[in-house]
Amino acid sequence: MALPQVNKVKQDATDARLAGMEMPDGAAWITEARTEAVNRVQAMGLPHARDEYWKFTKPASLVQPEPEAAALFHNDEGPLWDDLDRLKVVFVDGVFDAEASDDLAGEGLEIERLADVATKDIHWAKDLYGQLEAGEHGYTPRPLAALNTAFATDGVVIRVSGKVSKPVNLIYLHKSETSDAILHHCVKVEEGAEVTLLETGPAAARFNKVLEVDVADSAAFHHVRVQGRDHERRAVTGIFGRLGTESTFKSFTLTMNGVLTRNECVLELTGDDAVAHVAGACVGDGTDFHHDDTVFITHDAVNCESRQVFKKVLRNGAVGVFQGKILVKEDAQKTDGYQISQSLLLDEDAQFLAKPELEIYADDVACSHGSTSGAIDEEALYYLRSRGVPMQQATDLLVLAFLAEALDEIADDSLSEAIYARLEGWLERHAS
């Protein structure tokens, strides 16, 4: 192994990126958090193709100083969940758009812009910003998330204290072909409180986003995200969550199009009886689609449940990656851990790469994982066609059926219906 050489290359790439970055002004507490993050970036080095968790996804375009341009792709779809009563917070290429956003106020929650929070001498976000990202998840470095903490220009900071009347929808519009956006959000769901966070839109030519979520005892956090549209966009996103006793964390992501998407999710179940579900569905058509889900769930309390459900439909050279780990610490007895990652390869050019891992130190646990890759079920296709369903429609039905287990993780029907409609639209546009 030519490790010293790799280290040199990494160091140079890291230095080159950091040289072009400017740390936003802010109060002492956030400047401290950012400075620590820069130190972490330097210590870890930005990702390199030789790194253990970057073997299947080339990180160079996420690391390099300037983003690759990304053309805007137009289709006639209107905004997602347009008729849903929600609190809209709009970012255009990573820049907050006050005109397009609703008033930052809502029943049961406080919501502020990170850019404002950062100027305050004292703020509760001090205990969260960069803290979960830096956290105990020591087994694998997350340098791009640390880079985010160091240089994020904006984001939202939300504290939920009661039952929130409507979901918060972060809307990421992409209007500039060369935008390079870094957003960082913090969500604190206090004891017994509950909130739904929606994220939609292609965001930017290159997007680096971190979401830190602290879910207190008996609290619930629901997250539904749709990344889509622009074929040439690139994104690396990190969700860092900490779950208290009897808390619930549920996250679903739909990804359509995107030359590179890396979605990381790092959860720590620190209170007994907590429940964490992370699900993802993606559809990719063409060599300009590469999608990577990298999920690490740590069980550090008794009687917790975690579920990872990831489904990918790929064709024409599209590539899907799944890296998922369930780590059960010594005292995390009665853990119920489930992980499934499956791909439906619609032709022989599509590719699915999976690295499922279980690491268990407790003795009384029930953990299972499975990873499969398969083609469309010819028998089912023939059965559908023999009943008069045309080939394309029959294939689409089977594709949606394949994705259903992931989509079932969306608890709210009004949200999932719109997502099915989006998928149907995509399938129609990509009819073979």
Query: Is 263 in contact with 226 (CB distance < 8 Å)?
Result: no
By CB under 8 A, residue 402 contacts another protein: yes
Query: Is 180 in contact with 148 (CB distance < 8 Å)?
Result: no
The minimum distance between CB 392 and another protein, in angstroms, equals 10
Fill in the DSSP letter of residue 125: G
By CB under 8 A, residue 393 contacts another protein: yes
Nearer to another protein, 18 or 400 (CB): 400
H or E, element range at 425? helix 413-429
Categorise residue 155: left if φ over 0, alpha if ψ from -120 to 50, beta otherwise.
left
By CB under 8 A, residue 366 contacts another protein: no
For residue 50, give every residue at least 6 positions away whose Cβ sits within 8 Å of its Cβ, in sequence order, or none. 6
Amino acid identity of 293?
Answer: D
By CB under 8 A, residue 16 contacts another protein: no
Among 384, 410, 418, 419, binds another protein (CB under 8 A): 384
Residue found under tokens 């590179």: 260
The minimum distance between CB 402 and another protein, in angstroms, equals 6
By CB under 8 A, residue 405 contacts another protein: yes
Identify each DSSP E strand in 86-151 by its residue range. 87-92, 95-96, 109-113
* Binding residues with another protein: total (CB under 8 A): 24
Among 21, 49, 401, 431, binds another protein (CB under 8 A): 401
Which among 24-32, 80-88, 335-343, 399-407 is the span making contact with another protein, rule CB under 8 A? Answer: 399-407
By CB under 8 A, residue 376 contacts another protein: no
Which among 94-102, 118-126, 128-136, 373-381 is the span making contact with another protein, rule CB under 8 A? Answer: 373-381
The Cα 157–Cα 283 span in angstroms is 31
The minimum distance between CB 19 and another protein, in angstroms, equals 50
Q: Which residues of 188-220 are buried (b: 16+ CB within 10 A; e: fewer)?
A: bbbebbbbbbbbbbbbbbbbbbbbbbbbbbbbb
Among 267, 313, 398, 427, binds another protein (CB under 8 A): 398
By CB under 8 A, residue 390 contacts another protein: yes
Which stretches of the chain bind another protein, using CB under 8 A?
A: 377-380, 382-391, 393-394, 397-398, 400-405
